[in-house]
Amino acid sequence: MKKFLTVLSVALVICLFSTNESKAQLPDGAFGIGTSFDGGMPVLSGLYSFSPAFDLGLNLGYNSNSTKTEVNDKSSTSSSSSTSIGLTGRYFFVDNKRIDPFFSLGFNYDMPDNLPDALGLSFMFGGQTQIAENFFVYIATGIDYSTKSKETTEFGITTTVTDSQLSFMTTSVGAIVYFK
């Protein structure tokens, strides 16, 4: 994974210095379709550009894992999957000729198949650059906060356990195609 991020970072830096376009050239009301890898989960996004400074995206992610364990010539396989839906807003605060820096605020609802559902909030900072007329790539890093609750009832007593997690330096890389 580190090798992939290193190669992607080098490619992004090359792109930053080889283009002179910006998101400001898109008209208001441009629709985009994007894909990204956010925290190891592939995400598909539908974006709407209200202005050159603000995008709003609806995100759908899915992740599936399978693990095979062998102990004393006996093997067992376990699998898990998770579906995530979210809403993300990106604000581009500087119009630059090579890179469009942005802040991003996102809300996620994660539905793993064998764990309690989780609510998440992310705040990220990143940059986006234009590769072709309507094709952009971006990289962002930031903070993710998630919380999940699980209720159990034992002997007629209901107990709620809440688990919260704060993650620093989470990274998202992706590409977007806008339609004018």
Q: Which of 43-47, 108-112, 159-163 has the lowest mean pLDDT?
A: 159-163
Residue 171 domain boundaries: 2-63+77-179
The reply to whether 72 falls in a domain is: no
CATH number of the domain residue 32 falls in? 2.40.160.20
Is residue 133 included in any domain, yes or no? yes
The mean pLDDT of 98-117, rounded to a whole number, is 86
Q: Which of 4, 31, 29 has the alpha carbon at shortest distance from 139?
A: 4
Number of domains in the chain: 1
What distance in Å separates the CA atoms of residue 85 and residue 60, rounded to the nearest whole number? 5
Q: Is residue 9 domain-resident?
A: yes
Burial class of residue 8, CB neighbours in 10 A (0-12, 13-18, 19+): middle
Tokens for 8, please give them: 């992607």
Q: What angle do CA 167, 64, 68 make, to 5 degrees?
A: 105
On whether residue 146 sits in a domain, the answer given is yes
Instruction: Please check whether residue 97 lies inside any domain of the structure.
Output: yes
* Residue at 159 is within a domain: yes
What amino acid is encoded at 102 in this protein? F
pLDDT digits (tens, 9 = 90+) for 145-175: 988 877 777 888 877 778 888 888 778 888 8
The model's confidence at residue 16, banded by pLDDT at 50, 70 and 90, is very low
118: its two tokens? 């989780």
